[in-house]
Chain A
Amino acid sequence: MRHLRARLRDRIMDWADRRAPLAERVTLRHKTIYILPTATGGGFLLLVILLWLMGTNYENNLVLASAFLLLALLLVSTLHGFRNLSGLTLTVTQSHAAFAGEHAEFEVLLQSAGGSRHDNIHLSWDPALVVEADLIDCSERHLSLSVRSRRRGWLRPGRLRVSSRFPLGLLEAWSWVQLDTRALIYPAPEPSVEPPVAALDARHEGETLSAENREEFQGFVRYQAGAALTRVAWKHFARGAGLHLKDFAGYQSRQIWLDWDAVPERDPERRLAQLCYWVLTLAQGPDEYGLRLPGRQQPLGRGPEHRDACLRTLALWGLPEDQNSA
Chain B
Amino acid sequence: MREQVQIPRQALTWALIAQAVVLAPHSLHMPVWLWGVWLLAALWRWQVYRGAWAFAGFWVRAVLVVICAGGLMLGAGWSFGTETMVSLLLVGFVLKLLEVKNRRDFVVLCFLGYLASASQFLFKTDLLASAYGLISIALVTTSLVALHQSLSGYRPRRSLMLGGSLMLQALPVMVVLFLLLPRVGSLWSVPTNESVARTGLSDEMAPGDITQLSQSRELAFRVTFEGEPPPTRDLYWRALVFSEFDGRRWTQSSRQQLHSLVDWEGDADWRAQLEGLGREVSYEIMLEPNRRHWLYVLSAPTQWSDDIGIGREFRLQRRQPVTQRLRYRVTSALDYRYDPEPLPQWLRQQELQLPAQGNPRTRALAQQWREEGDDGWQLVERFNRWIADEFRYTLEPPPLGDDSVDEFLWQSQAGFCEHFASAFVFFMRAAGVPARVVLGYQGGELNPLENYLRVRQQEAHAWAEIWLPERGWVRVDPTAAVAPERIEMGLLSSLDATESARITGPLDGVAWAVNLRLRWDLINYQWHRRVLGYDAEARESFLLRWLRGTDPWRVAVSLTVTLILVTGLIVLRAWWQRRPRYAQPADRYWLQLQRRLSKAGYPPRPGEGPRTYSHRLAGVWAERAPDAARQLIQIAELYERVNYGGNRRALTDLIRLSRAFRVTEMRSAPL
Interface residues of A (CB under 8 A from B): 25, 40, 43-44, 47, 50-51, 53-73, 75-77, 79-80, 83, 86-87, 91, 93, 109, 113-117, 119-120, 127-128, 130, 132-134, 136-137, 165-169
Contact of A120 among B137, B148, B324 (CB under 8 A): B148
B114 within 8 A of A: yes
State the CA gap A185–B534 with chains docked (Å).
69
Structural contact, B570 and A93, CB atoms closer than 8 A: no
Tell me if A69 and B137 are in contact (CB < 8 A). Answer: yes
A134-B162 Cα distance, complex, nearest whole Å: 16
Please state if A167 and B145 are interface contacts (CB–CB under 8 Å). yes
Q: B150 near A136 (CB under 8 angstroms)?
A: yes
In the complex, the answer to whether A86 meets B107 with C-beta atoms within 8 Å is: no
Most chain B CB neighbours (cut-off 10 Å) among A70, A72, A80, A132: A72
A64-B178, A116-B574, A134-B152 as given contacts; A73 in contact with B166, CB under 8 Å:
yes
Decide: B566 and A75 in contact? CB cutoff 8 A. yes
> How many angstroms from the CA of A60 to the CA of B574 in the assembled complex?
36
Chain B residue total in the interface (Cβ 8 A): 69
CA distance A60 to B192 in the complex (A): 13
B121 touches A60 (CB 8 A): yes
B602 interfacial contact with A, CB 8 Å:
no
Q: Which residue of B lies closest to A167 (CB)?
A: B145
What is the minimal beta-carbon distance from B208 to any residue of chain A, in angstroms?
36
Interfacial chain B residues near A53, Cβ < 8 Å? 187
Q: How far is the CA of A53 from the CA of B189 in the complex (A)?
A: 11
Instruction: Give the interface centre of B114, B119, B178, B579 by most chain A CB atoms within 10 Å.
Output: B114
Shortest distance between the CB of B184 and any CB in chain A (Å): 5
Which of chain B's residues have a CB closer than 8 A to the CB of A86? 574
User: DSSP class of B's interface residues: helix, strand, loop or mixed?
Assistant: helix
Q: Among the listed stretches B168-176, B348-356, B434-442, B547-555, which one makes contact with chain A, having 4 or more residues with CB under 8 Å of it?
A: B168-176
Asked whether B67 is an interface residue with its Cβ less than 8 Å from the other chain, the reply is no
Contact of B133 among A59, A66, A120, A130 (CB under 8 A): A66
Are B603 and A60 in contact, CB atoms less than 8 angstroms apart?
no
Check if B260 is an interface residue, CB within 8 A of chain A.
Answer: no
Tell me if B614 counts as interface (CB < 8 A to partner A).
Answer: no
Q: Which residues of A contact B94 (CB under 8 A)?
A: none
Specify the chain A residue showing the minimal Cβ separation from B326.
A59
Chain B residues near A132: list those with CB within 8 A: 150
Which of A56, A63, A166 lies in contact with B121, CB distance below 8 A?
A63
> Are A61 and B532 in contact, CB atoms less than 8 angstroms apart?
yes
Which chain B residues lie closer than 8 Å to A50 at the CB level?
Answer: 115
Q: Is the CB of A169 within 8 A of B532?
A: no
20 contacts between A and B (CB under 8 A): A25-B603, A57-B188, A61-B533, A61-B534, A62-B121, A62-B130, A62-B532, A65-B174, A68-B174, A68-B178, A69-B134, A75-B170, A79-B570, A87-B578, A109-B606, A115-B578, A115-B581, A116-B574, A119-B150, A168-B144
Report Cα–Cα, A127/B3, bound state, in Å. 13
20 further interface pairs, Cβ-Cβ under 8 Å (given A58-B122, A66-B118, A116-B578): A25-B603, A40-B104, A40-B107, A51-B118, A56-B184, A56-B186, A58-B82, A59-B186, A62-B121, A63-B121, A63-B122, A70-B137, A79-B567, A93-B606, A114-B578, A114-B581, A119-B150, A132-B150, A168-B148, A169-B107
Given the known inter-chain contacts A66-B137, A83-B571, please indicate yes or no for A114 contacting B190, CB distance below 8 A.
no
Residues B1 and A130 in contact, CB atoms below 8 Å apart: yes
- Please give me the residue from chain B that is nearest to A113 by CB atom: B578
Q: Is the CB of B1 within 8 A of A167?
A: no
Chain B positions within 8 Å of A60 at CB level? 121-122, 125, 324
Are B177 and A68 within 8 A (Cβ)?
yes
Residues in A whose Cβ lies below 8 Å from that of B137? 66, 69-70
Distance between B313 CB and nearest chain A CB, rounded to angstroms: 29
Q: Which of B177, B532, B581 contacts A72 (CB 8 A)?
A: B177
Q: Mark B136-157, 1 if CB is under 8 A from A, else 0.
A: 0100010011011110110000
| Contact A137/B173 with A57-B188, A62-B133, A80-B166 known, Cβ cut-off 8 Å | no
Q: Is B111 an interface residue (CB 8 A)?
A: yes
Q: Give the CA-CA distance A53 to B133 in the complex, in Å.
A: 18
Query: Residue of A at shortest CB range from B125?
Result: A62
**Is the beta-carbon distance between B167 and A73 smaller than 8 angstroms?**
yes
CB-contact partner of A165 in B148, B152, B166, under 8 A: B148
CA distance A40 to B570 in the complex (A): 24
Q: Are B532 and A66 in contact (CB under 8 A)?
A: no
Determine if B181 is an interface residue (Cβ-Cβ < 8 Å): yes
Whole-angstrom distance from the CB of B179 to the nearest CB of chain A? Answer: 10
Q: In this complex, what residue of B is CB-closest to A112?
A: B578
Q: How near does chain B come to A97, taking the closest CB pair, in angstroms?
A: 21
Minimum C-beta distance from A3 to chain B (A)? 28
**Structural contact, A69 and B162, CB atoms closer than 8 A:** no
**Contacts A51-B115, A72-B174, A169-B148; A116 near B577 (Cβ below 8 A):** yes
- In the complex the two chains form, is A119's CB within 8 Å of B580's CB? no
Is B531 at the interface (CB under 8 A from chain A)?
yes
Partner of A68, one of B1, B107, B111, B181: B181
Q: Is B505 an interface residue (CB 8 A)?
A: no
Question: Is B36's beta carbon under 8 Å from chain A?
Answer: no
Closest 9 CB pairs between A and B?
A: A72-B173, A134-B150, A62-B121, A72-B170, A114-B578, A66-B118, A68-B177, A69-B174, A72-B174
Q: Digitize B284-299: 1 where CB-to-A-CB distance is under 8 Å, 0 elsewhere.
A: 0000000000000000
Which residues of chain B are near A134, meaning CB under 8 Å?
150, 152
CA–CA, A69 and B169, complex, Å? 10
B422 at the interface (CB under 8 A from A): no
Map CB proximity to A onto B180-204 as digits: 1 under 8 Å, 0 otherwise. Answer: 0101111111100000000000000
Give the residues in chain A near B185, CB-CB below 8 Å: 56, 59
Quick one: CB contact mask for B552-585 with A, threshold 8 Å, 1 for yes? 0000000000010011001100100111110000
Q: Are A43 and B1 in contact (CB under 8 A)?
A: no
Indicate whether A119 sits within 8 Å of B149 (C-beta atoms), given known contacts A79-B570, A168-B144: yes
A114 adjacent to B577 (CB under 8 Å): yes
Of the residues A43, A65, A165, A167, contact of B111 by C-beta under 8 Å: A43
CA distance A319 to B581 in the complex (A): 50
- Produce 1/0 per residue, B503-545, CB < 8 A to A: 0000000000000000000000000000111110000000000
Residues of B near A43 (CB, < 8 A) are 107-108, 111
Is residue B458 within 8 Å, beta carbon to beta carbon, of the partner chain?
Answer: no
Q: In the bound complex, do residue A76 and residue B577 qualify as a contact, i.e. CB atoms below 8 Å apart?
A: no
B606 partner residues in chain A, CB cutoff 8 A: 91, 93, 109
Query: Within 8 Å of chain A (Cβ to Cβ): is B117?
Result: yes
A19 to B129, CA, bound (A): 50
Chain A residues with CB below 8 A from B183, complex form: 56
A107 to B302, CA, bound (A): 83
Bound: A167/B2 CA distance, A: 16
Chain B residue at minimal CB-CB distance from A68: B177
Measured in the bound complex, the distance between the Cα atoms of B392 and A27 in whole Å is 90
- Give the chain B neighbours of A64 by CB distance below 8 A: 178
Give which listed residue, B1, B111, B532, contacts A128 with CB less than 8 A: B1
With A60-B125, A70-B114 as known contacts, state yes or no: A167 contacts B574, CB within 8 Å: no
Name B141's contact: one of A73, A114, A165 (CB within 8 Å).
Answer: A73
Beta-carbon contact of A166 and B149 below 8 Å: yes
Q: List chain A residues, Cβ under 8 A from B174.
A: 65, 68-69, 71-72
Residues on B with beta carbons closer than 8 Å to the beta carbon of A58: 82, 122, 186, 190, 324
- Separation of A33 and B532 alpha carbons in the complex (Å): 41
Q: How far is the CB of A72 from chain B (nearest CB, A)?
A: 4
